[in-house]
Every structure is written in structure tokens, then in C-alpha cells.
Amino acid sequence: MTEPTADVDELVARATAWRDQDPDPETRAEVDALLAGTAAGDPDAIADLTDRFASRLAFGTAGLRGRIEAGPNRMNRVLVSQAAAGLAAYLLGRAEGATPSVVIGYDGRKNSEVFARDTAELVAGAGARAVLLPRLLPTPVLAFAVRHLGASAGVMVTASHNPPLDNGYKVYLGDDDHGSQIVPPADGAIAAEIDRVAATMRVHELPRAAFETADESVVEAYVAETAALLAGPPAAQPKVAYTAMHGVGWETFAAVMDAAGFERPATVAEQLHPDAAFPTVSFPNPEEPGAMDLVFARAAETGAELVIANDPDADRLAIGIPDPEAEGGYRRLAGNEVGLLLGWRGAELSARSRRPGEGTLACSIVSSPALEAVADAYGLEFRATLTGFKWISRAPNLVFGFEEALGYLVNPGTVRDKDGISAALAFLELAASLQAEGRTVADRLDEFAAKFGAAASSQISIRVTDLSRIGALMTRLRDEPPAELGGIRVERIEDLADGSDELPPSDVLRIVLADGSRVMVRPSGTEPKLKVYIDALATDGDVAERRAAANAAVAAIDAAMRELLV
């Protein structure tokens, strides 16, 4: 986000102008309270006013995402209206005489439907065709609808797995972008139109018009095409426990399971239906400690052989399996573990359905590089992309793509984004096939280590209150690179700031060690964090020896990086 300075009088003027165009009484009242506190000299009110009005929530390749409050540095109806009008202007400007179209979806978070309807009315008012999905639905259904309806663009109102008081605005492009999320230069061009609207027009001046509402056939088509991932009836019926984590995944996932021939799972009733307050979790992200406690308890009650969790907008998937050594008897698989098993599945399917070497396995540069070993074994191309499915989905001839943050793209012919529903079905099919052969997911992980090597990973997140600290740490690593980490010699450090033949420029450092281990360091794109990703692959010895070696390397490097970044 931009961080211009402004004195209090200027901030008061900005806030007053903002309030006077805000159609939402709740956020107008927030501004009135801030202005009253500022007039009284309350330092907390002044600080809050500054935080909200001295800068603007930047529109980028992740769209918009932030806390639902008043001000240009928050998510609210004014900001969303400006974004909708800016997006419409961008689409109309490149339409070359044709009428562009936008399909809009929304999840169950606070204000999601309000933001979606504002968007539809403003897109229609600008002269484009606006189509609102029939009800709150998962993000993958919106991503599917962009291609299915032949839309020029799509907007999904969601903050995915962010905290309860956040919301967001995710933009997809159709036509030559095939329903993928925006990337440069489109993001910059859209942002420029949004800034122009914000600078020259008030929200009440923006024209609004009636929009279309899609019928259920869009959802039915998504369900049918997702269920078609399975070539035939399930080989077995694993006992499954499922949670939607207070999100929108259940109804669509249940319909997909029905269509594919799987029996309904045991569910966590308290988390099954949308609830914007997320009352049973402190953070609605399956990666967070404790977030899957209720579904693990339900799995234990029912003797489940597989645990499936979607995040609130169902674009991510978490998998749990029985583990007698884990507290409660179940453990969540790491995103890399799920990604590697699904990647192996994709490679096997590709080998049966394509000519050798035709197809690509892709993952983000911070995900397990062991996927390359799978690609090599099956004669497929491998592509490591920048973080985010806006990049992964654009890999040529994509067969499968994933990122370690629980995102998986198993069906690029249907959805060009991570999809926690189709990925859940693919993993369920894998578990069913294993069960029919008398094997388990844990056995499959052992088989992976035996065939490709044992992969181990860890992650360090350094949260900061002063964003300048992130830049200082990156500068220090560039200026004073380590010669060794955890007793392992650093072979080279690759600075991706200038880009490469395969990657656009990005503020990322890749540290390659002499034993083949790898460290990636980058600022988070959505949170005030510096993130470090550590990966190792061991191929010598039996499975137990390989695992011990990979885990030891990761542990040593992890400890060294933590000490280095203090």
C-alpha cells in the first residue's frame, strides 16, 4: 500500500469527504466517531484516523483484501464501488466495440453479498453486462463460471481464510487469460482506473443499473464437470469426516460427492454452514493450530479413515489421516505432502492418457521441489512459478499444480485456480483406490519416499509491526550472505529481484546448499511477515533413513535461519 504523509487537518478533510459519499450507515458512524475523537485531541482517534485515511488499500495481483471498516485503507462499500467502476472502465477500454461481461460471486462473510450486489449494479451501470451468481458459493465455482459463461472477467468477494473481520475482492480475467487471476500489467491498468474513479467521482455519482442473476445451471455444470474427474465408480468407500469451517464449501462438496458416487461423510455440525462470526475457531485457516480440532474429534468418534477440511471459501484443502502417535489419533498432512501425492496421481493419469512428455507439473517456488522428481520420472515438464495460482495456472500444458499453503489445481480443464473441492474429490479417489488394494495414505507416503526420495519442509514466519524491518532483513541477507547454514555449505544465493528467463522480478532470495537443500526467503504478499521456506530431499538408504536425513537437514537449517534473522 502507499504511505503518503498528511497533517491532521488534511486527514479530517479526507475523512469528511469520504463520509459524505459513503452509502453505509455503519461505516459513516465510524467516521463520525473518529472525527469527534480527533477534534477532542484523542491521540488514539488521531492514530486510527491516520491509519485509515493517510494511505489507500492497494489493488494488486491479489485484488483487494483488508479489514471491514471505514476509510480508503479498509474494505467497505466506497472502496468496493470505486474498484467496480474502475474494473468496468478497464474492460470497456479494451473491449474494441464488444460489450464486456463480468460474473460476480460471493461467500458468507460479512458484507460479501452487499459488495457483490454493489459491483453488479455498478458494472451494469457502466455499460457492461453483469451476472451475479445465484447465491453464496465457493470461490472455485466463480472461477469456473468465468470460463463456463464466456465472461470477460470475474469478481469473487471473499477474504478466503483471513480473520473474521476481513473481506476481499479477487479479480479473474476471461478470454485469452482463460479464467485465471490477474497478473501484471492488467493489475496496474485496473488500479490506475480505480485511482482515477476515486479522484474524480463520488460514489453517489456512479451510474447503477439492473443486472442479471445466473440460474442454478452454472452450479450444476461445475458439479458435473468436477465429478467427471473420476473415470468410474469409486473403488471403495473410505469413512470420511468433513468440515466446512463455517464457510460455503459443504453444499457444493456434498453435491460433488453424490454425483461421483461417494457416500456422505460424517460432518462437524457446528462448522457446516456459513457463519461470518466463525464462532468455533480463532482463525478460520486449516493450517492454524487448533483449527481442525473439532473435525479430528468427529473423525475419532466415527472411526474415519480420512479427514477433509475446506477453508471458508473452499479454494483450499486440508487432509488428515489416522496417526496413533498424534494427539487425538489424527494428524494433518502438510501442504507439501498432499501436493506431492496429488502430483504423483496427476503424473500417473497423464501417463495413461497422453503421449510421453506431454504435460507439465507446476508448483510455486516456495513449495516442495520434490515435484520435479515426479515430473522427471514420468517424462513431464516441470515449472516452478512465483507464489500464487495466478502464476501456477498459466504454466503451459498444465496437468497439475500446487502451492504448499494448501492450494491444489487438479483439473485445469475446468478451473484455472486452486480448488479445494475438486482436490478433495481427487484425494478421496486416491484414498479409495488405496483402500481397495489394502493400503493406506500413510503407505502411499512411504512409497513416495522409496520411489522419489523423502521430502521434508519447514517454514518460519517473522511477524513485524514495523514494515521497514522486512526490507532491512532482506537487505542484510543480500549484503551479508551466509557462508553456511546448520553446518551445510551455501553453494549459491540467487536473487530474483531482477527476474530470470522463467520468472518475473520478485523480492525473493533462493539459497541453495551443497547437499541440495534449499531456502526461500520472501516478504508475505498479504500480511506483515517475512517468510522463510526450507526444503530437503534425501535419496540414500531405506525409507526410515531417508526421512531421518531429510528431517535432520531441515531442522539444522531451520535453527540456523532463526538465529540469523533475530
| Closest C-alpha among 528, 566, 401, 535 to residue 459 | 535
| Closest C-alpha among 159, 286, 225 to residue 416 | 225
Nearest-5° Cα angle at 502, 499 to 506: 30
Measured distance CA(160)–CA(514) in Å, rounded:
38
Ramachandran region of residue 162, left (φ > 0), alpha (ψ -120 to 50) or beta? beta
Q: What cell does 218 get?
A: 452454472
User: 532 with 559: CB under 8 angstroms?
Assistant: no
Nearest-5° Cα angle at 119, 279 to 394: 85
Torsion, CA 82, CA 89, CA 64, CA 525, rounded to 10:
-140
Measured distance CA(494)–CA(179) in Å, rounded:
32
Q: How far is CA 189 from CA 60, 123, 194, 195, 523, in A?
A: 10, 17, 9, 10, 24
Give catalytic status of residue 364 as yes or no.
no
Q: What share of the chain is helix, strand, coil (3-state, %, to 5)?
A: 40, 20, 35
Classify burial at 200, counting beta carbons within 10 Å of its beta carbon; exposed 0-12, middle 13-18, buried 19 or more.
Answer: exposed
- Amino acid, single-letter form, for residue 264: R
Q: What is the DSSP letter of 75?
A: B
The cell 533475530 sits on which residue? 566
Q: Please say whether the dihedral angle defined by the alpha carbons of residues 316, 322, 324 and 329, taken in this order, is positive or negative.
A: positive
User: 212 with 102: CB under 8 angstroms?
Assistant: no
Whether the bond between 528 and the residue before it is cis, its omega within 30 degrees of 0, is no
| Closest C-alpha among 377, 421, 382 to residue 399 | 382
Measured distance CA(451)–CA(312) in Å, rounded:
35
> How many angstroms from the chain centroid is the CA of residue 150?
23
Q: Which residues contact 63 (CB under 8 A, 6 or more apart)?
A: 168, 169, 170, 171, 181, 182
| Closest C-alpha among 226, 34, 20 to residue 138 | 226
Measured distance CA(133)–CA(105) in Å, rounded:
5
Q: Please say whether the dihedral angle defined by the alpha carbons of residues 323, 326, 332 and 333, taken in this order, is positive or negative.
A: negative
Could you say which of 152, 160, 368, 422 is catalytic? 160
β-sheet bridge partners, residue 533: 459, 520
Active-site annotation, residues? 160
